[in-house]
Amino acid sequence: MNGQETFEPTANRIREFLKQGKRFDNRKLDEFRGIIIEKNVSKKAEGSVNVKIGKTEVMIGVKMDVGTPYPDSMNKGNLIVTAELLPLSSERFESGPPKFPAIELGRIIDRCIRESKFIDFEKLCIVEGEKVWNVYIDIYSLNDDGNLLDAAGIGAVAALKIAKIPHYDEKEEKIDYDVASTKKLPLEKEPPLSITIHKIGDSILVDPTREEEDLSTTRITIGSTNGIISSIQKGESEALEIEEVKKIIDLYEKVTKKVLQKIEKDLK
């Protein structure tokens, strides 16, 4: 009996449950699993968190160094987001150069943060045209039980909010890590949040488990700040009707407030 044959009965049962508005872990379609955010998990990062959504777990670190600005933004700092899907988190991931899922995850999180204007990049300029701060967001999967996208999005925002800019010695023109820094990143008060909505059959839901995510035929990741949508990224191949898109946006607005409250609570 091959893997597809052993999985199909479970897949059919999941689809039938979803038609009735039910899930195997007793959640509603608009309900997240428990979210836990642990701060300062890395001594080497300027800001770091561990995020768990159910059994899904990611670690996010923010690092900073001094570099040159991009030619089209000579008075602004730089943002670089990368994701590494570690083999220890799933048998589906392999060692080696990043593959499409990791590249896509990094780009979606990058777009959410960049388009939201959460970071004031002009304030990360040291010498216009010469020196600016580079902000690196590194995402590592520790366990994949579905919805790595939202775990990474929550973690990226949380790590940025607690990150400190290293002390830069202007005379020596280098970072001095021996001097403690209390200077935070220049961030907007209201953080952005990316939430991914999935469609399975005719059902629209958030925070899928790994088994549910495998059945998803369409997903949309929405990023917003202060209720204003700043980024939308569609994944998978199935098209959506206009009414389905409206339903997705309504669901996003419903769950966003609760997730933001959880972030603020765990970071206090």
Query: Sorting pLDDT into bands at 50, 70 and 90, what band is 10?
Result: confident
- Tell me: the pLDDT tens digits for 220-232? 999 998 889 999 9
Query: Sorting pLDDT into bands at 50, 70 and 90, what band is 268?
Result: confident
Cβ(46)–Cβ(164) under 8 Å? yes
**Could you give all domains of the chain from N- to C-terminal order, each with its CATH number?**
19-267 (3.30.230.70)
> 3-class secondary structure for 106-158?
HHHHHHHHHHHCCECHHHHEEECCCEEEEEEEEEEEEECCCCHHHHHHHHHHH
Cα separation, 37 vs 59, in Å, equals 10
Structural tokens at position 192: 């952005």
Tell how strand 131-143 and strand 56-67 pair up.
antiparallel
Query: Sorting pLDDT into bands at 50, 70 and 90, what band is 146?
Result: very high
